[in-house]
Amino acid sequence: MVTEKQDKIMGRQRKSAIGEVITGIIMISIPFYFSGGGHWMGMHPGFSIWQWILVAIGAGSLVKGVSRLAAKSKKIIDSKPNAKKRKLELENKVLRAAKKAGGKVTVARTALFIDAPIEETETILNSLASRGHSTVEVTSEGQILYMFPDFLELDK
């Protein structure tokens, strides 16, 4: 999963890459604007060396920015399978914790046992309950218990 801090960093890097693309486009456009436009690629005798330098620098900036944007998109796409893998790993850890606890677990104890954030653990437990792998009960003290029948039967 991508943390909030990583998301902010990726956002800044994305903005920086977009800035490079825009800078490249502007730098390429300036010489054509001052050459009067209308000529194919500015290739006419009046196109000076400084204009060609701006075009070259602008093209470099444009290519670098586009490649950075493509790399960021690939990282975002590649992070999705990692999130699915992490969810499966956490589900297995939660199931092992439930088995070890005799089929009855709470969010806090499970989070501590599997070394995961409480919010993430609660999401996994609720997901398992919604898919019929456990039931949710509230004790008279107000404690929420997740009951795993498969593991309760093993103890009998």
In a domain, residue 147? The reply is yes
Total number of domains in the chain: 2
**pLDDT tens across 81-90, in order?**
677 888 899 9
Does residue 91 form part of some domain? no
- Which secondary-structure segment (H or E) carries 144? strand 144-147
CA distance 129 to 25: 53
pLDDT digits (tens, 9 = 90+) for 3-62: 666 556 666 777 787 888 888 888 888 777 776 655 555 455 556 777 778 888 888 888
Which among 15, 28, 118, 105 is positioned nearest to 68, based on CA atoms? 15
* Residue 93 domain-assigned (yes or no): no
Task: For residue 156, give both structure tokens.
Answer: 């009998």
Domain contains 94: no
Q: Is residue 19 part of a domain?
A: yes
Task: Report the CATH number that the domain containing residue 112 is assigned in CATH.
Answer: 1.10.10.10
Q: Determine the structural domain holding residue 128 and report its residue range.
A: 101-156
